[in-house]
Structure 1
Amino acid sequence: MSAALRYLSTRGNSPDATLSEAIAAGLAPDGGLYVPDHLPKLDIAAFKSDGSLAETAATLLAPFFAGDALAAELPTICAEALTFPTPLRALPQHPKTSVLELFHGPTAAFKDVGARFLAACLRRVRGHGAVPLTILVATSGDTGAAVGAAFHRQPGVEVVILYPDGRVSPRQAHQLGCFGDNVQALRVQGRFDDCQRMVKAALNDAALQAQSPLSSANSISLGRLLPQMSYYAHAALMWRREHSEPLNLVVPTGNLGNALAAVWVRAMGLPLGKIRLACNSNATLPDFFAGHDYLPREAIATLANAMDVGAPSNFERLRWTFPHAEVLREQLQAQSVDDQTISDTIALHAREHGEVFCPHTATAMHVLDQLRASGDDAPWAVVATAHPAKFESVVEPLIGKSVDVPPALAVMLQRPAVAEPMAAEDGALREWLLEKAALAS
């Protein structure tokens, strides 16, 4: 068996950690993101040809867990978390066009995969009777609900969700505030990047951590990022078995966690081909991949609100994976899609193909439409990150009919929802958390 991986900070100024330590901490002490000391290589033959998503995940992630306290529990963690399908569904308009549907979990978004896996890990890492842990999560729409659902009523854990007030869809906002019990929502008077900055500042505040132990459930957490690799591996292996060629992906992206998961799967030797990033009008990544310097900027509001990110956290991990800019630019391409084009794409595919996409999935569909129009005949899968019913105020006027609501989402929408306002200031969150800790003591 290969030696256990160690986990390092992308910024290089923190002690090495075990996987359990990295998952429990969320963010490294120096403010960096945890990464393995190297990406292991895997052989296709290691995977069961008829394995389930959970079995694929257990095989894929075994090298990351080797030697860790959680290693023996990995198959059970995967089986516990990955209880819903992530089908690769053929689309009718082209024989080599598919959609990888990642929205069949409890909150109708791909974030359910990582959130449920992280919750299953933390239940085991922390055990019973430990000091209560507060999970901080910044969300641009879908992450918060997935984390809230995964940790709802879990003993010893409090969840605090920060989201940009007025910049998520009405149904997303309702989901974020509908849990109660150990899950609380804060509607921040700012952008997602403000929420993300506030969470990172709190996690890096040693005095605050001493009063109220904190961790993260954003894609900065390895416990969320690693399981997201599983559905890409599963789809790629299935496609390769059936078609004897790699599968190419168009991935909608904002904070880069979902796309990074695909990049790591390919780097580990599994049969993924080209990876294209579909972004909205927030052009930080498209500008970089076009040859400009990496320049984070303030996010702007778009129809694809979950991707409204101007300073994507996981860029640090991407640069760790490919330290040289010219090599990194060879690995990926990125394209911006504006709101009018998102709307046109949703309407076009509903009218001509009977397919209804959420605004985020529509960015990826437009990128693929352009590839097909240019004569590209390769096998491509568009990654569908959320159910269109979560964005009914955008989608329904464009398609001229209502979108059926998945049962689990319908149940959430029937609950009352409450969210507390908060200024977009690091100090405001710090004071709120200290007051919360004082009330609990």
Structure 2
Amino acid sequence: MPKPQGIQGEPEGRNRTRLAGQAFASTMAFKPNIDRLKPMLYPSTRGHCPPVRLDEALRAGLAPDGGLYVPERIPGLEAATGIPGPDLSATAERVLAPFFADSSLAEDLPRITREALDLPLPIVEFNPGKSWMLELFHGPTAAFKDFAARFLAACLSRLRAEHEPVQTVLVATSGDTGGAVAAAFHRRPGFRVVILYPDGKVSARQAHQLGAFGDNVHCFRVQGNFDDCQRLVKRALNTPELASALALTSANSISIGRLLPQISYYAHSVSQLSAQIAQKVNLIIPTGNLGNALGAVLARAMGIPIGEIRLATNANRTLPDYFGGEDYRGRPGIATLANAMDVGDPSNFERLAWLYREADLRDSGIHAGSVTDEQIRRAIRRAWNEQGLMVCPHTACALELLRQQREVGDDRPWMVAATAHAAKFENVVEPLIEQTIEAPPALAALLERPSHAEDLEPDEDALATRLRALA
């Protein structure tokens, strides 16, 4: 069998195609160097509280008005910036520097990127000259979220003074976020992690991984879906007394600290590949809460040679329906084989709408498609039989959209974001490819450890009680 070769906002329910404010589209031009040195502030998407510096936005996670922090402008990248750098951490330092302007972390940014982003980032070609896969799953928990979680942990640990109380990192997860955050903050002095995941709606290995860290990591099985978990986190962060008593922050993709590093791996990989093929690179990105895809959107806005961006969803059709012409309508999540994307009301849509608040989001070169469970199964089989690729159900959604593009004659270069290692979903993938999937060493080590999680009702008071008991 051939083996692939590697190469180095607003209230829900509104129509948010057009929103008032400065046009995001106008920020896409390159900026002069002086713009990169100007202080960067972070307003809320809802505009009901003053803009803050990055330090405060990182600490808080969520804005006081319930909105998400966003950069006030999108800095451009000139050719002299030197993108890509010799490795991901060097690229990240250059790309992210303007976002850190006026932050107390600005001087530490080179050390932060070296500490957090020293991870493999292979690009695998599987259709010569036409199709590539960006493997984002070579971190300690075998998922793309390792990049951002490690970066956020490196930032928050530097922002916390020794005399300050222990900070509680509260995170909702549909599978991979919780493990990445747990690994990034495990045994890190001055922090405790509280993970909420929907009981029975993550894979068995994901659930085991979430409860296997122990020490300063506490895990709760919520009797509900991911949207319930996400709601509990947001309500806790927006309860001033509770947030203050526990020094609460979030490590979900609602945190600006999760979003920024995701810009860097698209900047690095796309610039590298584009230089080789002398064309813009189109992206297909599996998405649930829209955080990973938003990193690509921002990278493109800064001037990285990204063409079209396609969002691959499972049977949760909120985004495909919106980009297909319907009003935005959040809805309950539907359980699918691609469980990490079982999101019915993606939080980061509010950021996306804010960025395009005076432009037409449906005319932005962003599209979305929905993939059924049966299509996921066929895509997993096809990837193995035709390309020798073992892919997770989420990556399979992206491969199915790519197949559909090729079927209608699209011959452009496309890169698919592979978001998790297939071994995390062995109960789905192994029967389809009739092969045993070996777990990566770090995941295998976690699976050998005992795992513990407590039951939790999807109730704000119940969560508050548990959180206070940990303090």
Measured after TM superposition, the shift of residue 44 of structure 1 is: 3.4
1:354 is the counterpart of 2:368: no
Amino acid at match of 1:268: M
Please state whether the residue corresponding to 2:133 is helix, strand or coil. strand
State TM-score, norm by structure 2: 0.91
Please state whether the residue corresponding to 1:100 is helix, strand or coil. strand
Residue among 397, 409, 431 paired with 2:443: 409
How much identity, in percent, do the aligned residues show? 57
Residues of 2 paired with 1:47 and 1:287: CA distance?
A: 39
Residue among 185, 189, 194 paired with 2:223: 189
CA contact (8 A) 1:11 1:30 kept: yes
What whole-Å deviation, never above 9, does each CA across 1:387-441 have from its counterpart, x for those lacking one? 000000000000001111101110010000000000011221112112323xxxx
Change in Cα spacing, 1:366 to 1:94, as seen in structure 2 (3 Å) is farther
Aligned residue pairs total 436
Moved more, 206-215 or 291-300: 206-215
Change in Cα spacing, 1:302 to 1:21, as seen in structure 2 (3 Å) is same
Match of 1:61 in 2: 96
1:272 is the counterpart of 2:306: yes
1:41 is the counterpart of 2:81: no
Change in Cα spacing, 1:57 to 1:423, as seen in structure 2 (3 Å) is same
Q: Structure 2 unaligned runs (5+)?
A: 1-33
What whole-Å deviation, never above 9, does each CA across 1:85-106 have from its counterpart, x for those lacking one? 1111111x34210000000000
What whole-Å deviation, never above 9, does each CA across 1:26-59 have from its counterpart, x for those lacking one? 0001110000111111123302555210000000
Please state whether the residue corresponding to 1:35 is helix, strand or coil. coil
Residues of 2 paired with 1:327 and 1:226: CA distance?
A: 21
Match of 1:208 in 2: 242
1:374 is the counterpart of 2:408: yes
CA contact (8 A) 1:342 1:359 kept: yes
Residue among 275, 297, 302 paired with 2:331: 297
Q: Structure 1 unaligned runs (5+)?
A: none
Match of 1:29 in 2: 64
Measured after TM superposition, the shift of residue 15 of structure 1 is: 1.7
Q: Which has the higher contact order (CA 8 A, sep 6+)?
A: 2
CA contact (8 A) 1:289 1:329 kept: no
Residue among 347, 350, 354 paired with 1:320: 354
State TM-score, norm by structure 1: 0.97
Residues of 2 paired with 1:226 and 1:49: CA distance?
A: 16
Residues of 1 paired with 2:354 and 2:50: CA distance?
A: 17
1:221 is the counterpart of 2:255: yes
CA contact (8 A) 1:167 1:191 kept: yes
Measured after TM superposition, the shift of residue 329 of structure 1 is: 4.2
1:157 is the counterpart of 2:157: no
Amino acid at match of 2:80: A
Residues of 2 paired with 1:44 and 1:68: CA distance?
A: 25
Residues of 2 paired with 1:436 and 1:255: CA distance?
A: 28
Please state whether the residue corresponding to 1:357 is helix, strand or coil. coil
Residues of 2 paired with 1:184 and 1:421: CA distance?
A: 12
Amino acid at match of 1:143: T
Match of 1:86 in 2: 121
Match of 1:239 in 2: 273
Please state whether the residue corresponding to 1:41 is helix, strand or coil. coil
Q: What's the RMSD between the two structures over aligned residues?
A: 1.1
Amino acid at match of 1:80: E
Change in Cα spacing, 1:329 to 1:190, as seen in structure 2 (3 Å) is farther
Match of 1:12 in 2: 47
Measured after TM superposition, the shift of residue 213 of structure 1 is: 1.2
Residues of 1 paired with 2:376 and 2:401: CA distance?
A: 10
Residues of 2 paired with 1:396 and 1:100: CA distance?
A: 22
CA contact (8 A) 2:41 2:71 kept: yes
What whole-Å deviation, never above 9, does each CA across 1:66-100 have from its counterpart, x for those lacking one? 12100000010000001111111111x34210000
Residues of 2 paired with 1:328 and 1:376: CA distance?
A: 20
Amino acid at match of 2:49: S
Please state whether the residue corresponding to 1:89 is helix, strand or coil. strand
Please state whether the residue corresponding to 1:295 is helix, strand or coil. coil
Please state whether the residue corresponding to 1:9 is helix, strand or coil. coil
What whole-Å deviation, never above 9, does each CA across 1:248-287 have from its counterpart, x for those lacking one? 1000000000000000000111111110000000000000
Please state whether the residue corresponding to 2:360 is helix, strand or coil. helix
Moved more, 82-91 or 310-319: 82-91
Change in Cα spacing, 1:49 to 1:338, as seen in structure 2 (3 Å) is closer
Residues of 2 paired with 1:63 and 1:81: CA distance?
A: 18
CA contact (8 A) 1:319 1:328 kept: no
Residues of 1 paired with 2:359 and 2:459: CA distance?
A: 33
Please state whether the residue corresponding to 1:365 is helix, strand or coil. helix
Please state whether the residue corresponding to 2:307 is helix, strand or coil. strand
Residue among 268, 286, 311 paired with 2:345: 311
Please state whether the residue corresponding to 1:107 is helix, strand or coil. coil
